[in-house]
């Protein structure tokens, strides 16, 4: 069973993702990995899709990982860890392994939303006892900041550049968390490094649940977002407080929002610090800001409705009386 989440206890745990890696200064991904591995109360084996995290944390003879770690191709990290998990179950059945081991796969949005989606979907459908964690920085950052299906509406990237032809990306981002929940897996969640307690609790919950689990975590990239090198946590928090990156979990089909801002901030608070959105703040592009805000509001209202639908009967009755 997982131990309670306590700063005192966490401070005594071994750091399994070491400093000295070559991720960019201020990158959100290594913050997330460190939190995930600290949250785990079990031995962990991880696979890692090709991407920023992979190429910068294991160079030649040097590695930042103090756990068994496998570099997979861009497209098959989920398939790799599902194979390891299958082998583990076989060895355990034969009595050759007695330890309780957990299996985690890490991938960026390029290797998760797009290139690796087929292997991820297959692993979820087959029911492997594994946790897949996407660190979502909203583009193919490692190969030149090309758009992915996780790139937000209106963002400027090298393959959807803001200019005279198009004002940035014209499509809404894919809602991968909901797509994974639609696989009828026992647990899917969205998290942010700004709300570390929420993130780590979700990791611990996921690792206690048998079967396939998925977590989507926002991971600011100052290089691709064209923001400051020290604002990853600030931007993560603004994403949550503007509700463009809501924190919620779907457990056995039931939706629960795990953080509701006291005051929902306007989306522009999240967009303004990022150079990839600067073109939106021109008179001719005001309609883009309006459309982006409307979409965020629509998604948030839908999420609130989904939570209300699955709320316990007594909670619904209380809400009805208050109205």
Q: What is the pLDDT of residue 315?
A: 55
Q: What is the pLDDT of residue 313?
A: 62
Quick one: which H or E segment has residue 187? strand 187-191
Please say if the pLDDT value at position 4 is more than 70: no
Cα separations (Å) of 43 from 100, 102, 239? 7, 6, 32
256-279 pLDDT per residue, tens = 999 999 999 999 999 999 999 999
Are 148 and 112 spatial neighbours (Cβ–Cβ below 8 Å)? Answer: no
Q: Which domains does the chain have, with CATH numbers?
A: 8-322 (3.40.50.970)
Please say if the pLDDT value at position 318 is more than 90: no
Q: What is the pLDDT of residue 9?
A: 85
Q: What is the pLDDT of residue 5?
A: 76
Cα separations (Å) of 321 from 257, 314, 315? 21, 11, 10
182-238 pLDDT per residue, tens = 999 999 999 999 999 999 999 999 999 999 999 999 999 999 999 999 999 999 999
Please say if the pLDDT value at position 155 is more than 50: yes
Q: What is the mean pLDDT of residues 242-254?
A: 98
Phi, psi of 61 (to 5 degrees): -90, 5
Question: Global pTM?
Answer: 0.94
């Amino acid at each position: 069973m997982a131990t309670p989440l306590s700063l005192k206890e966490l401070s005594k745990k071994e750091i399994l993702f070491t400093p000295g890696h070559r991720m960019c200064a201020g990158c959100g991904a290594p913050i997330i990995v460190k939190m995930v591995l600290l949250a785990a109360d079990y031995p962990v084996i991880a696979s890692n899709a090709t991407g920023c995290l992979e190429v910068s944390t294991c160079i030649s003879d040097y590695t930042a990982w103090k756990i068994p770690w496998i570099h997979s191709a861009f497209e098959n990290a989920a398939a790799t860890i599902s194979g390891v998990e299958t082998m583990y179950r076989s060895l355990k059945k034969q009595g050759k392994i007695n330890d309780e081991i957990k299996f985690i796969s890490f991938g960026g949005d390029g290797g998760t939303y797009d290139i690796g989606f087929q292997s991820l979907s297959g692993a979820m459908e087959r029911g492997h006892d594994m946790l897949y964690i996407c660190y979502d920085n909203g583009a193919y950052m490692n190969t030149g900041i090309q758009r992915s299906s996780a790139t937000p509406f209106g963002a400027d990237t090298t393959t959807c550049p803001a200019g005279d032809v198009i004002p940035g990306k014209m499509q809404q981002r894919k809602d991968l968390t909901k797509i994974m929940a639609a696989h009828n897996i026992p647990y899917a969640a969205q998290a942010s490094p700004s709300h570390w307690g929420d993130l780590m609790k979700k990791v611990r919950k996921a690792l206690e649940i048998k079967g396939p689990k998925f977590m989507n975590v926002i991971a600011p990239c100052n290089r691709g977002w064209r923001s400051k090198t020290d604002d990853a946590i600030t931007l993560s928090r603004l994403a949550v407080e503007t509700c463009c990156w809501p924190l919620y979990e779907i457990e056995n089909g039931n939706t629960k929002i795990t953080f509701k801002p006291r005051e929902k901030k306007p989306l522009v608070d999240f967009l303004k610090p990022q150079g990839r959105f600067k073109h939106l703040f021109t008179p001719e592009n005001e309609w883009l800001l309006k459309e982006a805000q409307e979409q965020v509001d629509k998604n948030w209202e839908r999420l609130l409705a989904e939570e209300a639908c699955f709320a316990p009967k007594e909670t619904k009755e209380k809400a009805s009386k208050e109205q």
